[in-house]
Structures are given as structure tokens and as C-alpha cells.
Structure 1
């Protein structure tokens, strides 16, 4: 076999100093700012939802008397309200994320993508 076989692991053609434009973008201040912005929004929201969900599961498992407490004179229980609250909170969190991403995250990500792809051509 020659040293120019197809199994070489050298950098792609036009990568400049062995790095692709995408690798350069990962180290860019713009990308790092996007990651921080994403994490500042998503991690607290995810933590809130996981605590809310764990509370529901723990109450259902360890406080069945409380969860079976009827609300007023109806057949609706606290457990049912908590369960329905899980669905409501999922839709609220999803809607909040989509609105936030459309307004604050996606435009900056799109701009960075165009710059990186424009430099890769």
C-alpha cells in the first residue's frame, strides 16, 4: 500500500491548520455565548420540571391518603389535579421554550450557521 491510500486520517481538504470551519465555530465566542444562553434557560426549567414530577411521583407513592383527598363535594382528588397538572406544565414549558428559542436563540444560531457555512464553501 502507498502512503496516499484512502484510509489516511489527515485533515479534510481546505480545513486550514487541520481544523474544519465547524471546529473553529465551536471555539468561537459567539458559539460559547449561545451555549451559555441555552443553558441559562433550559437547565433551570428542566430542573423545575423534574422536581415537580418527582414531587408528584413521591406523593403518589408515599402519601396516598393526601393524594386521594377529594376536592369539595366532587369525585376530583388532589392526585388527579397533580396528574393533570403534569400535562398542563408540559405544554406550558414547551410553549415557553418555543417562544424563547424563536425570539432569543434561533436568530443568533442561524446567523452563526450562515457564517460558518459561508466560510466552508
Structure 2
């Protein structure tokens, strides 16, 4: 982190403004927002089809299973798939950068605590 960013605010405010933290937020948002939109669209499609395309959703596929049942089960499958994709994304793209940011925050916070203790003990 540059010296000009060390001058103002708390440790957390300075790191929040850092390039590393901003990149971490960008990486998270690049995954989370599109995936959330896609899942909500998929869920809305299921709800809309269930409400207004009953004939289509009632089509038997095999035995007593119809399209509605399969779509409903696919909601669970897609939820687990998204969770798995997010875990993979976090492990590869987010965690290394988050570890770096956390290490910097912890180091700087510890240094500030030492400085504060030193000032409190200094009788001048």
C-alpha cells in the first residue's frame, strides 16, 4: 500500500480504498451478480411456466414424472452446481487475494497497536 494511503483513516478504511481490495470486490461481483441473475431468471421461468403453461408442465416424460417435476428437481441441481462453481471460483480467484489483503490489514493493525501502546507508555 502506498504512503499517501497510510496517512488518513483507520486501517480498514485505508485497505478498503486499496487496489487489492477493490480488485477482490470486482472478482467477487464478476461472479456473483451474473450467477444470481441467471439463477433468478431460471427460477422465475419455473414459476411462470408452472402458473401459465400448465399443459406444457404436465407433459409426462416417464412413469409418473412430468416436466414440472423434472424442472423442480433441476432447481436443486442448479443450486448445488452454483455452490460448487462458487467454491471453485473462490478457491482460485478470491482466496489468494483475500489472504494477501487480510495479511496486510493484520500487519498494519498490529503495527498501529504497537505504536498506540508505545505512545501510552511514553511519559512525554
Classify the TM-score, shorter chain.
Answer: 0.7 to 0.9
Q: Name the structure, 1 or 2, with higher relative contact order (CA <8 Å, separation 6+).
A: 2
Matching residue within 56, 60, 66 for 1:70:
60
Show the counterpart of 2:25: 35
Runs of 4+ in 1 over 3 A off after TM superposition: none
Encode CA deviations 1:26-75: one digit per residue, 9 max, x unaligned: 11111111111111111111111000000001100111111111014x21
Higher helix share: 2
CA distance, structure 2, for counterparts of residue 24 and residue 18 of structure 1: 7
Which TM-score applies when normalising by structure 1?
A: 0.82
Larger fraction in strand: 2
Mapped to 2, the partners of 1:95 and 1:115 lie a distance apart of: 29
Q: CA RMSD in A?
A: 1.2
Normalization by structure 2: what TM-score?
0.80
Aligned to 1:100: 89
Equivalent residue, structure 2, for 1:52: 42
Q: Give unpaired runs (5+ residues) of structure 2.
A: 1-5, 111-124
Match status 1:109 vs 2:98? yes
